[in-house]
Structure 1
Amino acid sequence: MFRTLYRTVLGPDRTRVLPRALGRLRLPVLAALIVYSFVWAVVASAGYVRQADSDGWWVVVFALTLGPYVLLFWSPLYAWRLMAAGFYLVSLLVVGDGAAAFQYWTAAPLFVAVVAFYSRGIVIAVTLITMALVIASEPQAADMALFVPIIAAVVYLFGARGRAERELEEERDAKAALEERARIAREMHDVVAHHMSMVVVRCETAPYRLPGLSEEAEKELQEIGEAARTAITDMQRLLGVLRTNGEAPQREPQPGISRIPELVRPGDEAEVGVGDVPEAVGLTAYRIVQEALTNATRHAPGSKASVHVHENDGVLEVVVVNTAGGPSRGGGSGQGLVGMRERVAVHGGTLTVKSTEDGGFLVRARIPLGDK
């Protein structure tokens, strides 16, 4: 319980639950809440200024009323914390008829947002702290604090479905990431095996290519070659574990940079201004372009796409942009972006995906090349 209280009062909160839950309605709802809080901030500040002993503290009242709503979409928990920190102070500054109602109406949406979207432990801690704040700010109306847990229980029950859906979505993302990592490992096997095979060949042919090697050197090269062969065998066994039931092994070589133009659809543009790059990086670039064009065909039929692949200061940059198209045809696993992020992360790169101003979509991957 004490750990939950600590997390509630001081712990970090990186969840952006409100924008995810509201989807396309997030901007209208945000605007409505900002207007709501602005009106109450003006009312509270004006009420404070009308008091006989008012001074410059009206700015604090205004900021403590409006400020939490600015934080709301970044983190409902941070917004509630700011409200809680100023709740008692505002109750001391703003007195008279309607002062209590003003505080309750400004705090209620922030309290509801936390109760609706956060876990049970945090909800209990927030409810207890809010009850204590209500009692401390107006002891003669302590019975009003009894409504806090009632509101919390009702809102928590209504928010249960949303929490379950978010947990399911997180589980799907985690599963998709694991599946993509296994796929990456299967594809990378071919790349690594090729390099290991080269090590074996060079070690075994060294006595013929480099006459005059000492007996110790030949023995050393033989041991290196045997170790490389063992590594290849171990990777093949690992590959068998990663292969899903009924999946046949791939025989064809993994694609790379040179095959990206084959992916481009008729009418699209392609500019590949890169020469030789590491095989693993080339494979990643190919898969990113493949996924981006597949998404454009599926979700923006009839759109035009442009593909640009070039090197800049030791970084391979892959940019795929498609224009707006017709209605989405749906389909697909919905985890393509997860897969692209996993592939780029293998190389320590970055991936940017966003909508464009003309209604299209942009995918930009930056992959460090390292030492070629």
Structure 2
Amino acid sequence: MFRALYRTVLGPDRTRVLARPLGRLRVPVHAGLIIYAAVWGIVASAGYVRQQDSDGWWVVLFLSTVLPYVLLIRSPLLAWRLAALSFYPVALLCAGEGAGAFQYWTAIPLLVAVAAFYSRPIVITATVISAVLVAVTERQAADLALFAPMLATVVYLLGARGRAERELEEERDAKAALEERARIAREMHDVVAHHMSMVVVRCETAPYRLKGLSDETQQEFAELGEAAREAITDMQRLLGVLRTNGDAPQRAPQPGISRIPELVRPGDEAEVDVDDVPEAVGLTAYRIVQEALTNATRHAPGAAASVHVRRDGDRLDVLVRNTAGGPSRGGGSGQGLVGMRERVAVHGGTLTVKSTEDGGFVVRARIPLGDK
């Protein structure tokens, strides 16, 4: 109980869910709610000014009504906290003006937002506090205090499906990220194993390539070669752990930046102005282009696509753009963007994905090249 009270009144709020389901309606809906609050604020302020010997407190009255709605799109719980904190002081200012009823109708959308998106303990705690505040400030309107729990219960039940879907989506994203990390590790095995094999070969051939080596130096090369060989064996064992059931070992070498033009369809544009990049970076660039073009084919059939890969200072700039196309064919796992972000994150790079004004799509990755 005390934990729920703390989370509701004082605890940190990491929920940023209100803007997500609204999508493109975010701005007009938020503007409408602010106008709703402003109207009530003007009504209350005008009533306060009409009182005898009124002073400048009407400004506080107006702001305490509007500010929670300004914060609503960022955090419904934070907006409700601000409204609850000012509930009783505003009631004192509005004495004789139906304070409880006025504040109830200004605070009810905030409680509805909390009930729609937050967990049950927070909803129950916020509802009880709201009902108590209404009952204390407007003793003559007990029906308002009873209506708040009823409304919050209905809204909470209606929002339960949305909460479950969001939790399921978060779990899918987390699972997809883990699977993609395992896939990246399997692919990176070939890249790292190649370098380690070169270390083994150079260590074993050093006595024959370099004349006049002492016995101690030859022994040192032999031990280094043995350590590198053991490292390769350990990596192969790790690869077996990462390989999921039914995955066959990959025999073909991993693709690199030189094979990116092979991904582009005839007639589309492909420009690769760099070829000397680390193998791991080249593999990441290849996979990003592959996924971006696959998404374009699947979700914008018939669209024209272009691929540009170039060096930009100490980073590799990968840009894939497609125009608007036909209706989406659907399909796919829906986790392609998750995979691209994981691959870029391995190198400490950035990924930008956005739609264009002409209805197309742009994927841009900037990948550090390291010391290469």
TM-score by length of structure 2 reads: 0.93
Moved more, 34-43 or 277-286: 34-43
Indicate the residue corresponding to 2:341 in structure 1: 341
Indicate the residue corresponding to 2:137 in structure 1: 137
Preserved CA contact (<8 Å) 1:203 1:225: yes
Moved more, 339-348 or 33-42: 33-42
Indicate the residue corresponding to 2:230 in structure 1: 230
Indicate the residue corresponding to 2:302 in structure 1: 302
Give the secondary-structure state (helix, strand or coil) at the position aligned to 1:204. Answer: helix
Q: 1:29 to 1:184 in 2, by over 3 A?
A: same
Indicate the residue corresponding to 2:332 in structure 1: 332
Indicate the residue corresponding to 2:244 in structure 1: 244
Preserved CA contact (<8 Å) 2:277 2:369: yes
Preserved CA contact (<8 Å) 2:100 2:134: no
Preserved CA contact (<8 Å) 2:351 2:363: yes
Report the CA distance between 1:99 and its aligned residue.
3.4
Letter in 2 for 1:152: A
Preserved CA contact (<8 Å) 1:305 1:321: yes
Preserved CA contact (<8 Å) 1:269 1:305: yes
Q: 1:252 to 1:64 in 2, by over 3 A?
A: same
1:77-226 to 2 correspondences below 5 Å: 77-139=77-139, 141=141, 144-226=144-226
Letter in 1 for 2:89: L
In the TM superposition, what whole-angstrom CA distance separates every residue of 1:233-261 from its partner, at most 9, and x where no partner exists?
11112212222222221111111111111
In the TM superposition, what whole-angstrom CA distance separates every residue of 1:313-352 from its partner, at most 9, and x where no partner exists?
3122212222222211111111111111111111111111
Preserved CA contact (<8 Å) 1:48 1:58: yes
Q: 1:370 to 1:132 in 2, by over 3 A?
A: farther
Report the CA distance between 1:59 and its aligned residue.
2.4
Moved more, 57-66 or 23-32: 23-32
Letter in 1 for 2:5: L
Distance 1:322 1:197 in 2: 40
Preserved CA contact (<8 Å) 1:21 1:162: no
Report the CA distance between 1:116 and its aligned residue.
1.3
Distance 2:161 2:47 in 1: 40
Moved more, 280-289 or 7-16: 7-16
Distance 1:230 1:94 in 2: 80
Give the secondary-structure state (helix, strand or coil) at the position aligned to 2:277. Answer: coil
Give the secondary-structure state (helix, strand or coil) at the position aligned to 1:17. Answer: coil
Distance 1:40 1:296 in 2: 49
Moved more, 135-144 or 262-271: 135-144
Distance 1:57 1:142 in 2: 28
Indicate the residue corresponding to 1:38 in structure 2: 38
Distance 2:167 2:340 in 1: 22
Letter in 1 for 2:351: L
Distance 1:183 1:114 in 2: 40
Distance 2:238 2:307 in 1: 35
Indicate the residue corresponding to 1:52 in structure 2: 52
Give the secondary-structure state (helix, strand or coil) at the position aligned to 2:86. Answer: helix
1:252-263 to 2 correspondences below 5 Å: 252-263=252-263
Report the CA distance between 1:212 and its aligned residue.
1.4
TM-score by length of structure 1 reads: 0.93
Preserved CA contact (<8 Å) 2:99 2:137: no
Preserved CA contact (<8 Å) 2:101 2:144: no
Report the CA distance between 1:263 and its aligned residue.
1.4
Report the CA distance between 1:24 and its aligned residue.
4.4
Q: 1:4 to 1:348 in 2, by over 3 A?
A: farther
Report the CA distance between 1:98 and its aligned residue.
4.2
Indicate the residue corresponding to 1:73 in structure 2: 73
Distance 2:149 2:224 in 1: 70
Q: What RMSD over aligned residues (CA atoms) do the two structures have, in Å?
A: 1.9
In the TM superposition, what whole-angstrom CA distance separates every residue of 1:45-71 from its partner, at most 9, and x where no partner exists?
222222223322222222222222222
Q: 1:326 to 1:239 in 2, by over 3 A?
A: same
Q: 1:109 to 1:196 in 2, by over 3 A?
A: same
Distance 2:205 2:263 in 1: 39
Unaligned runs of 5+ in 2: none
Moved more, 13-22 or 185-194: 13-22
Indicate the residue corresponding to 2:315 in structure 1: 315
Preserved CA contact (<8 Å) 2:351 2:365: yes
Report the CA distance between 1:117 and its aligned residue.
0.8
Report the CA distance between 1:140 and its aligned residue.
5.1
Preserved CA contact (<8 Å) 1:319 1:364: yes
Percent identity for Structure 1 against Structure 2: 80
Q: 1:264 to 1:84 in 2, by over 3 A?
A: same
Letter in 1 for 2:10: L
Preserved CA contact (<8 Å) 2:101 2:141: no
Distance 1:226 1:143 in 2: 82
